[in-house]
């Protein structure tokens, strides 16, 4: 996120520990929106508020419910936060939902935050010290170890200045925008506003969105367009990663979008039903021995999943595979949480390693691959995915597999000495593959020349050796060991070798066309007179054409090269002149049978240009 622009902070903690009251005291905004929340005095769903701080920093708050029955709602909000404000009531200390919320924050990869010790006006200093010690014990060894514990009271205002100071500190050290990725925004609310239409809200995870952009909603496969956007009530043209964003959409009805959907840039990513992951279990006794059914939470989505542990990597950390009956949009590095459905309990969480795992690898190779992916950065992941594919990867494939933008993929591929980014075909290959294919081509051409010494080269289509044309062109281009002429390819050192008989036949064929001048015989006549073996005679004729000793005007009309050179030279002496077909016939003494095809050939060669019934010499 923009280091001077904002920070999304989530509350976490047990029910009735004062999360909502604290946010209201800081911002003046009551995050309890629902009538039932106000009637019961507890938070049921997510609440939102914001606070402007000095230096242009704006803190967006996601206030989550603390009751164990609403942990699923808490998870939907926690997925969008970058820092946590762990709230513990001084009069009750650490409670079950304090622990579960804190575990969820750890599993979701949140790495910054602080603790607010609320309701200090209700207890003694001894109680404040005792509760602080229990909090220190809870957060020991975690991302919050050593963080500030701020005593505060929403009722009296005590400590609120210190809370704002901690928020200011977090805002000033906020991470840079997670650029280089396709835009993704998990939807936490969708509603309709009179006069505007559909509005959705969420925290923009990655990338950027702009007014006017076409968008796509997963997994409902709905398309639309961004009409306008707001950040904390202010209209903006662009939203960037890390910002709480409200988006007014055109072309989509509010009822067709729900919490759990993800809004992305238009049709660039794919949903998945199967993914490979690493999982950190909160208790080793929770690790399933066989395939188990667990509640899977990613972003704002919640799906019942089948989980199978593939390998225990280290203690409570395992590799696993998840099968989802309903598709989700997941990308490498995404954090998720797993909960047991009944009795409801958070049992673990982790990160997505591969949202589209290969299905035909054996268990050992799968584990080796996951170990590589677990430690891979973006550059290493691109290299692995490209090296796994027999013919490299298209940029579109890599985008779908990683969520990286085309520009970032190109940048990483160019910087990697093992890879080659082919701009013309938008594909990434390994240099090792290119070297192997070129060696194979050179060996194949060597064998072809040995078998066909009199041919100038092999047909290009045959020399592709089964590669798609665009991949074959990558192999052929800038390869100094070969020579490509038209539709023929040969080793650069190859020279056609002819037997005495072949040489005599070729000389006879060439002589016939030379002597015929502007009235050439038919190809069939020449071949039948030159050699009994018609197929052999035709191959020798083609050699003469490819060596440019004969010129093919059309499929069944050939002239000697000297004759066509004479025509070219004669016309060149009169550049800019206009002439008719009868005039051309008179100059060359050609019949119309030959004159028209020759003129069409000259047009194709840009020697002449047809202009109505006449031609212009270029």
The residue ranges of every structural domain in the chain are: 6-172, 184-265, 272-372, 373-416, 433-491, 500-617
Q: What is the mean pLDDT of residues 455-475?
A: 90
* Tens-place pLDDT, residues 301-357: 999 999 999 988 778 999 999 999 999 999 999 999 999 988 888 999 999 999 999
In this structure, what token pair is assigned to residue 452? 């066909």
- Among 357, 350, 289, which Cα is nearest to 317's? 350
Least confident interval from 50-64, 144-158, 320-334 = 50-64
Q: What is the mean pLDDT of residues 37-64?
A: 70
Q: Spelled out in words, what is the top-level CATH class assigned to the domain 272-372?
A: mainly beta
Statement: residue 382 has pLDDT above 90: yes
Is residue 559 a contact partner of residue 528, using CB atoms and an 8 Å limit?
no
Confidence of residue 487 (pLDDT cuts 50, 70, 90): confident
CATH architecture of the domain formed by 433-491:
Orthogonal Bundle (1.10)
In this structure, what token pair is assigned to residue 477? 């281009």
Q: What is the mean pLDDT of residues 556-566?
A: 94
Q: What CATH number matches the domain at 6-172, 3.40.50.20, 3.30.300.90, 2.40.128.720, 3.40.50.300? A: 3.40.50.300
Identical topology for domains 6-172 and 272-372: no
pLDDT of residue 45: 57
pLDDT of residue 297: 92
Per-residue DSSP letters for 305-324?
EEEEEEEEEETTEEEEEEEE
On whether the 500-617 domain is CATH 1.10.10.10, my answer is yes
pLDDT of residue 35: 44
- Exposure class string for 124-143: b at 16+ Cβ within 10 A, else e: eeeebeebbeebeebbeeeb
In this structure, what token pair is assigned to residue 487? 């539709």
In this structure, what token pair is assigned to residue 267? 């049709």
What is the CATH code for 184-265?
2.40.30.10
Distances, alpha carbon 180 to alpha carbons 67, 162, 382, 392, in Å:
38, 36, 13, 21
- Among 280, 276, 278, which Cα is nearest to 103's? 280
pLDDT of residue 315: 82
368 Cβ contact list (under 8 Å, min separation 6): none
Residue 352, Cβ density class (10 Å: 0-12 exposed, 13-18 middle, ≥19 buried): buried
Give the residues across from 304 on adjacent strands. 295
**Measured between alpha carbons, how far apart are the two ends of the chain, in Å?**
61
- Among 257, 179, 201, 177, which Cα is nearest to 45's? 201
pLDDT of residue 1: 36
Alpha helix positions (H), 395-430:
395-402, 406-415
pLDDT of residue 175: 55
- Among 275, 132, 270, 261, which Cα is nearest to 188's? 261
User: How does strand 149-151 pair with strand 113-118?
Assistant: parallel
Question: What is residue 340's DSSP assignment?
Answer: E
Residue length of the chain: 618
Write down the mean pLDDT value for the chain: 89
């Amino acid at each position: 996120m923009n280091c001077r622009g904002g920070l999304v902070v989530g509350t976490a903690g047990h029910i009735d520990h004062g999360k909502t009251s604290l946010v209201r005291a800081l911002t003046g905004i009551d995050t309890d929106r629902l009538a039932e929340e106000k009637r019961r005095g507890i938070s049921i769903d997510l609440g939102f508020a914001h606070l402007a701080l000095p230096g242009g920093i704006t803190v967006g708050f996601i206030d989550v419910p603390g009751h164990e029955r609403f942990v699923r709602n808490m998870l939907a909000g926690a997925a969008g936060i970058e820092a946590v404000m762990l709230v513990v009531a001084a009069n009750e200390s650490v409670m079950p939902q304090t622990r579960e919320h804190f575990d969820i924050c750890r599993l979701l990869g949140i790495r910054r935050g602080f603790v607010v010790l609320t309701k200090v006006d209700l207890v003694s200093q001894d109680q404040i010290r005792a509760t602080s010690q229990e909090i220190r014990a809870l957060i020991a060894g975690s991302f919050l170890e050593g963080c500030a514990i701020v005593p505060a009271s929403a009722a009296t205002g005590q400590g609120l200045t210190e809370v704002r100071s901690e928020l200011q500190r977090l805002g000033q050290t906020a991470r840079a925008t997670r650029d280089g990725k396709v835009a993704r925004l998990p939807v936490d609310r969708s509603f309709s506003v009179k006069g505007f239409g559909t509005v959705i809200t969420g925290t923009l995870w990655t990338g950027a969105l702009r007014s006017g952009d076409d968008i796509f909603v997963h997994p409902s496969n709905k398309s639309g367009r961004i009409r306008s956007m707001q950040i904390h009530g202010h209209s903006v043209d662009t939203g960037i990663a890390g910002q709480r964003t409200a988006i007014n959409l055109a072309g989509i009805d509010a009822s067709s979008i729900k919490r759990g959907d993800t809004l992305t840039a238009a049709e660039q990513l794919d949903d998945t039903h199967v993914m490979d992951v690493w999982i950190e279990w909160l208790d080793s006794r929770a690790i399933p021995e066989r395939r188990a059914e667990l509640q899977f939470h990613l972003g704002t989505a919640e799906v019942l999943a089948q989980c199978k542990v593939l390998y225990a990597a280290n203690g409570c950390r395992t590799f696993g595979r998840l099968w989802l009956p309903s598709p989700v949009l997941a990308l490498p590095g995404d954090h998720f949480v797993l909960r047991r459905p009944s009795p409801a309990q958070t049992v673990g969480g982790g990160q997505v390693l591969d949202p589209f795992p290969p299905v035909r690898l054996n268990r050992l190779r799968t584990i080796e691959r996951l170990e590589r992916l677990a430690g891979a950065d973006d550059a290493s992941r691109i290299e692995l995915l490209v090296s796994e594919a027999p013919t490299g990867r298209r940029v579109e494939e890599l985008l779908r597999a990683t969520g990286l933008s085309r520009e970032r993929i190109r940048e990483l591929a160019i910087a990697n000495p093992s890879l080659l980014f082919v701009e013309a075909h938008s594909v990434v290959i390994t240099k090792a593959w290119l070297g192997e294919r070129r060696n194979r081509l050179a060996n194949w051409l060597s064998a072809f020349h040995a078998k066909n010494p009199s041919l100038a080269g092999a047909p290009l289509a045959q020399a592709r050796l089964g590669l798609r044309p665009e991949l074959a062109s990558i192999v052929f281009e800038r390869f100094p060991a070969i020579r490509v002429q038209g539709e023929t390819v040969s080793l650069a050192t190859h020279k056609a070798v002819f037997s005495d008989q072949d040489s005599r036949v070729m000389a006879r064929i060439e002589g016939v066309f030379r002597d015929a001048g502007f009235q050439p015989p038919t190809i069939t006549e020449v071949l039948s007179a030159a050699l009994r073996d018609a197929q052999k005679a035709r191959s020798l004729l083609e050699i003469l054409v490819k060596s440019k000793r004969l010129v093919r005007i059309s499929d069944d009309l050939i002239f000697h090269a000297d004759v066509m050179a004479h025509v070219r030279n004669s016309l060149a002496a009169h550049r800019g002149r206009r002439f008719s077909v009868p005039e051309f016939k008179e100059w060359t003494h050609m019949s119309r049978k030959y004159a028209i095809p020759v003129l069409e050939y000259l047009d194709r060669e840009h020697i002449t240009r047809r202009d109505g019934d006449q031609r212009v010499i270029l």
